[in-house]
Structure 1
Amino acid sequence: MTTSLPRRRDTRALRGLSAVLCAALALLPTPANAQQGEGAIEVRVREFLQREVAGLPGEVSIELSPLDPNSQLPACAALEPFLPAGTRAWGRFSVGVRCDSPVTWTAYLQARVAVVADYLVAARPLRAGQVLGPADLGQRRGDLTALSDNVLTDPTQATGHHTRIAVAAGSPLRGDMLRVPHAVRQGQTVNVLGVGAGFRVASEGRAMNNAAPGEKVRVRLADGQVVTGTAQAGGTVELAF
């Protein structure tokens, strides 16, 4: 019958359409081969680093180097940035990103954190043992991450302190260059306060070593007994019972 010919044509057409659809579907990315977008990684890393640097003084900026374009990381449901052990978000460093689901991988980006702030410098040449006053201190603005660690940023961190070494004019001041003035000096007569639950006892003694406020000092009392207490301002030593 002549009616069978159109059916054969329809069958051939459907088969051809099915083949085209299968080929098109094969070109679409599947969950197994979907790639992780670099932009999402950088956003998560930047958010992580912003939390890490919160509270730093001055103007903080974060720069991230792009991932290797050949990395081809599988898509991740939950990105977890982290700092390698012993690394802090300061200057140039590596920051990691790990994925645990649906696949496991770890990648690293190069980052740079700059902290532009005012820091202290010697306003004039300072000799070793000098007690610092406001006239001895100057300020300069720059990237703290490009300087040595422990650079001082507040005049209160240096005023009244003694220099451990001679410092050239214009040199940045670090904490290790200074020491807190002694509250108690060796051989000094000190007031000894014994403080306990509901009582307070006072006596005098002679300090056996130098001590800054909060440091331990040994004291020989009038009866020859040696006690250890905490140095306080004004030549006082406190004993806790």
Structure 2
Amino acid sequence: MDYFTKLVIPLVGAVLLSSHAVATNKDEQKQDHDKIRQVATEYLQQLSSAQPGDAEISVGAIDGRLNLAECQALVPFLPTGSKAWGKTTVGVRCTAPSNWTIYLRANVQITAEYYVAAHSISKGQILALEDLSKIKGEISNLPVGFINNPDQAIGKTIQVSVSSGTLLRMDSLKNPAVVQQGQAVRVISIGNGFQVTTEAQAINNASEGQIAKAKTANGVTLSGIAKAGGIIEISN
């Protein structure tokens, strides 16, 4: 018995036991299964719109023997642990006038452009456009943080060596150091109506916006925000 069957069978049982969940006589209106699937599909379309590319969505059929009471308020949702793309499960619950919940199999395939290494790249290299190769394909199963825009990678330093064709990810890139250990830097202290500049030597590497430390000629250690051009800025 697969995971989905294990999940659905007890839930269908719960639906059957819910008050007024099932149409029990000929006079009671039954819920249109196609309407449930439409609500689930539109919900997944809405979620997938936040992803780059084009989405192809399919929602599984509902067992024709399941007679649910007609619902005036169908509310779709993603069960805990489900994701909005790939092979997934989507739930639809009725909140009025009956109370029931049904879970449907679904498959959301998203096709979009993403970037891989155009050739072997060494750790510490700053990426340029020629280092990137664009691919269009299924992204539903790609890990979080893949590069879908070259601007996300150009000018960044890669933290690991990669071979040609390797998927490029945001967590393997960082902004290049604007302050490097041993570099002569200017430490600028900015306060209310004043600005003081001190010459110093950096004692760590730091990208723009990170904390950088430097030691002055008389041995005083200062720390502030790294800025482009070998500047450390201290705001008072």
Q: TM-score range by the shorter chain?
A: 0.7 to 0.9
What are the residue-to-residue correspondences of 1:42-61 with 2, within 5 Å?
Answer: 42-61=37-56
User: What TM-score do you get using the length of structure 2 for normalisation?
Assistant: 0.79
| Rg (Cα) greater in structure | 1
Q: SS of the residue aligned with 1:60?
A: strand
What are the residue-to-residue correspondences of 1:23-42 with 2, within 5 Å?
Answer: 28-30=26-28, 34-42=29-37
Structure 2 residue 125 is the aligned partner of structure 1 residue 130: yes
**RMSD (Å), alpha carbons:** 2.3
Deviation at 1:117, TM superposition (A): 1.3
1:180 matched residue in structure 2: 175
Answer yes or no: is the 8 Å Cα contact 2:45–2:55 preserved in 1: no
Structure 2 residue 63 is the aligned partner of structure 1 residue 65: no
Q: SS of the residue aligned with 1:183?
A: strand
Structure 2 residue 163 is the aligned partner of structure 1 residue 157: no
Please tell me the residue identity of whatever aligns with 2:232.
V
Identity of aligned pairs, percent? Answer: 38
- Structure 2, unmatched stretches of 5+, are 1-23
Deviation at 1:152, TM superposition (A): 0.8
Please tell me the residue identity of whatever aligns with 1:132.
L
Structure 2 residue 73 is the aligned partner of structure 1 residue 113: no
| Match 2:225 to one of 226, 230, 233 | 230
Deviation at 1:28, TM superposition (A): 3.6
Deviation at 1:222, TM superposition (A): 4.3
Answer yes or no: is the 8 Å Cα contact 2:74–2:92 preserved in 1: yes
Answer yes or no: is the 8 Å Cα contact 2:189–2:235 preserved in 1: yes
- Structure 1, unmatched stretches of 5+, are 1-25
1:87 matched residue in structure 2: 82
Q: SS of the residue aligned with 2:207?
A: coil
Please give the alpha-carbon distance, in whole angstroms, between the structure 2 residues aligned to 1:71 and 1:201. 77
Q: Deviations over 1:64-123 (max 9, x none)?
A: 112233432222120111122343312222111112221211211122222211111111
Distance 1:111 1:223, change over 3 A: farther
Please give the alpha-carbon distance, in whole angstroms, between the structure 2 residues aligned to 1:112 and 1:228. 51
Q: What is the aligned residue count?
A: 213
Answer yes or no: is the 8 Å Cα contact 2:188–2:197 preserved in 1: yes
Deviation at 1:199, TM superposition (A): 4.0
Please give the alpha-carbon distance, in whole angstroms, between the structure 1 residues aligned to 2:84 and 2:198. 51
Please tell me the residue identity of whatever aligns with 1:121.
V
Distance 1:146 1:88, change over 3 A: closer
Please give the alpha-carbon distance, in whole angstroms, between the structure 2 residues aligned to 1:68 and 1:201. 76
Distance 1:106 1:188, change over 3 A: same
User: What TM-score do you get using the length of structure 1 for normalisation?
Assistant: 0.78
Please give the alpha-carbon distance, in whole angstroms, between the structure 1 residues aligned to 2:26 and 2:175. 69
Q: SS of the residue aligned with 1:171?
A: coil
